[in-house]
């Protein structure tokens, strides 16, 4: 009997896929649930998992573009009956492990606007013993990442595969909750021993998951030097994170011929490229930035700020400030406080367009653009107008740590009314920041450089920062934008105004 395998439905918006690679050849014997190949879409990569044990007959060659429902391969079950016997002998152990109550874990609702997620990685393998509240893996959405936390203790059976695009409510895994769950595995040592050689030589051995492949590529590590701990020796995300580039992986410099004269053309040296798929978050960022440029009448105005007063105030009180509030005093809290005061005076900059209406906000939820390992994210400081400098600093530090650890929630990144971005921490002198739609304006801070300026007829050296305000000209006029930015300049150059609110 032959089992026919077809291209599965891998996502609502995906109509076709490409056969990326076959890990087995036509005529090879395969085992049930063995990874035999990979499918690629414009969004992610999906593994082809054998639906039966037997002899593989490939119907779609590598590189072929297929539609959902097209045939991939067939598996002739009878041909692998003898090979599959060790698995059959081991089946009672799996059944015994599943005799207790089974907890089914599903994709949770992670935000109102999120309908699907990508299973980035599993931290455990099929059949592992897991504990309650253990982190099992990671889900990626177009906005953030979410940890999969075990809802029970027991033996886990993985249902979804790494790279799968899942809808809210789809099944992730099942956990067999039995106190003796691990014991049955020891009842058939003979069968387990018989099975080991087959597992060791599985085609999955040394093959990285999509998440692991990306990490290894970024580290410049060859998969041949990484030992996989996943099912069948598969390289998991955790293996990739723990992998270190050894001396043997570094290319050995070959003896170089004498350098040719400068006037002569040279062709020595390696010329290579690396191609990798964009992450879900990066694709979303790209779409939104392009939309902001195309759908708004964006304009930018500039000014310069003398940072002398703020720097002197910070230098004088930073130790006492930290001693009292247990947090450092940075420049971002001064700018955030100044923004809240300026927004009260120029409410159009704290508004947004909704169809043919303008929505004015009587609160200031200030987004702080943060560069995280996964890309640019904008967590929001809620009701910033009610916070002190210490309160703002604590909230910014808390959100920055969550961004670094990929633990920001959708709620913490939604609903801002204005955004501040600080390219100065990377050395930026001047830029035109792009609007964070549907907001009507964004403030760009830059590096502080000592420059000669004229004060009272004298040329003096002062620490100067260039600031930029990008705004949507459909709702904000030039007068309002210049007034707002000049008000920021006044408040920073004379920080006593922040305390007196004048």
CATH code for position 78: 2.40.50.100
CATH value at residue 303: 3.30.559.10
Structural domain contains residue 317: yes
Tens of pLDDT, residues 308-359: 999 999 999 989 999 999 999 999 999 999 999 999 999 999 999 998 899 9
Tens of pLDDT, residues 419-449: 999 988 888 899 999 998 889 999 999 999 9
Structural domain contains residue 103: no
Where do we find the tokens 């910014």?
Answer: 396
Domain count, the chain: 2
The 3-state DSSP class for residue 141 equals coil
The 3-state DSSP class for residue 395 equals helix
Tens of pLDDT, residues 177-188: 865 444 444 444
Q: What percent of the chain has pLDDT over 70?
A: 80
Average of per-residue pLDDT values in the chain = 80
How many other C-beta atoms can be found within 10 angstroms of the C-beta atom of residue 53? 22
In this prediction, residue 262 carries a pLDDT of 57
In this prediction, residue 190 carries a pLDDT of 43
Where do we find the tokens 């006029």?
Answer: 477
> One of 26, 319, 405, 477 is an active-site residue; which one?
477
List CB contacts of 328: < 8 A, sequence separation 6 or more.
318, 321, 322, 393
Using pLDDT thresholds of 50, 70 and 90, give the confidence band for residue 404: confident
Structural domain contains residue 215: no
In this prediction, residue 181 carries a pLDDT of 42
> CA–CA distance from 35 to each of 162, 191, 240 (Å)?
11, 22, 19
Using pLDDT thresholds of 50, 70 and 90, give the confidence band for residue 248: very low
Structural domain contains residue 144: no
Structural domain ending residue among the three candidates 63, 83, 103: 83
Using pLDDT thresholds of 50, 70 and 90, give the confidence band for residue 113: low
Structural domain contains residue 344: yes
> One of 26, 133, 201, 473 is an active-site residue; which one?
473
b/e code 94-113 from CB counts within 10 Å (16+ = b): eebbbebeebebbbeebbee
Structural domain ending residue among the three candidates 54, 83, 112: 83
CA distance 260 to 244: 37
In this prediction, residue 167 carries a pLDDT of 85
Structural domain contains residue 50: yes
Q: Report whether pLDDT(98) > 50.
A: no
List CB contacts of 106: < 8 A, sequence separation 6 or more.
169, 170, 171, 172
In this prediction, residue 223 carries a pLDDT of 74
Where do we find the tokens 């002062």?
Answer: 462
Average pLDDT over residues 113-125: 82
Contact by Cβ (8 Å): 428, 446: yes
Structural domain contains residue 109: no
Structural domain contains residue 483: yes
In this prediction, residue 199 carries a pLDDT of 41
CA distance 204 to 200: 9
In this prediction, residue 353 carries a pLDDT of 92
Structural domain ending residue among the three candidates 52, 83, 114: 83
| Annotation marks residue 477 as catalytic | yes
Q: What domain range includes position 351?
A: 285-500
| Annotation marks residue 473 as catalytic | yes
Most confident listed range (77-86, 145-154, 241-250): 145-154
Q: Report whether pLDDT(374) > 80.
A: no
pTM of the full structure: 0.51
Q: Percentage helix, strand, coil, to 5, in the chain? A: 30, 30, 40
Using only the alpha carbons of the chain, give its radius of gyration: 29
């Amino acid at each position: 009997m032959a089992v026919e395998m077809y291209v599965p439905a891998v996502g609502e918006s995906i109509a076709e896929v490409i056969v990326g690679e076959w890990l087995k050849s036509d005529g090879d014997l395969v085992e049930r649930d063995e990874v035999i190949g990979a499918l690629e879409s414009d969004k992610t990569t999906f593994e082809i998992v054998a639906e039966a044990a037997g002899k593989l007959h490939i119907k779609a060659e590598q590189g072929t573009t297929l539609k959902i429902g097209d045939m991939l391969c067939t598996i002739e079950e009878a041909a692998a009956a003898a090979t599959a016997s060790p698995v059959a002998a081991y089946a009672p152990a799996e059944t015994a492990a599943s005799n207790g109550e089974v907890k089914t874990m599903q994709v949770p609702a992670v935000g109102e606007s999120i309908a699907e997620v990508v299973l980035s990685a599993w931290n455990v393998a099929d059949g592992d013993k897991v504990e309650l509240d253990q982190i099992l893996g990671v889900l990626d959405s177009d906005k953030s990442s979410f940890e999969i936390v075990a809802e029970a203790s027991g033996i886990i059976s993985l249902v979804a595969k790494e790279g799968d695009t899942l809808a809210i409510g789809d099944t992730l895994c099942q956990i067999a909750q039995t106190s003796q769950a691990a014991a049955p595995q020891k009842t058939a040592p003979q069968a387990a021993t018989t099975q080991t050689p087959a597992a060791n030589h599985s085609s999955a051995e040394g093959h990285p998951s999509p998440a692991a492949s990306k990490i290894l590529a970024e580290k410049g590590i060859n998969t041949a030097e990484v030992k996989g701990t996943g099912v069948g020796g598969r390289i998991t995300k955790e293996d990739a994170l723990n992998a270190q580039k050894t001396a043997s992986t570094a290319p050995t410099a070959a003896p170089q011929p004498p350098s040719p004269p400068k006037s002569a053309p040279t062709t020595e040296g390696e010329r290579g490229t690396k191609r990798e798929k964009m992450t879900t978050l990066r694709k979303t960022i790209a779409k939104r930035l392009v939309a902001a440029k195309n759908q708004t009448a964006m304009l930018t105005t500039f000014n310069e700020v003398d940072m002398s007063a703020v720097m002197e105030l910070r230098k004088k009180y930073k130790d006492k400030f930290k001693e009292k509030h247990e947090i450092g005093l940075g420049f971002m809290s001064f700018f955030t406080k100044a923004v809240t005061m300026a927004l009260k005076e120029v409410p159009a900059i704290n508004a947004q367009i909704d169809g043919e209406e303008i929505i004015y906000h009587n609160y200031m939820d200030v987004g702080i653009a943060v560069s995280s390992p996964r890309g640019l994210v904008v967590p929001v400081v809620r009701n910033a107008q009610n916070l002190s400098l210490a309160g703002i600093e604590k909230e910014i530090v808390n959100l920055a740590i969550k961004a670094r650890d990929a633990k920001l929630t959708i709620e913490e990144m939604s609903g801002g009314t204005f955004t501040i971005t600080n390219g100065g921490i990377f050395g930026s002198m001047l830029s035109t920041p792009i609007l964070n739609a549907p907001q009507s304006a964004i403030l760009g801070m830059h590096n502080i450089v000592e420059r000669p300026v004229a004060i009272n007829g004298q040329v003096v050296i002062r620490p100067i920062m260039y600031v930029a305000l990008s705004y949507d000209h459909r709702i904000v006029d030039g007068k309002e934008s210049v007034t707002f930015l000049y008000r920021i300049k006044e408040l920073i150059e004379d920080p006593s105004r922040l305390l007196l609110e004048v």
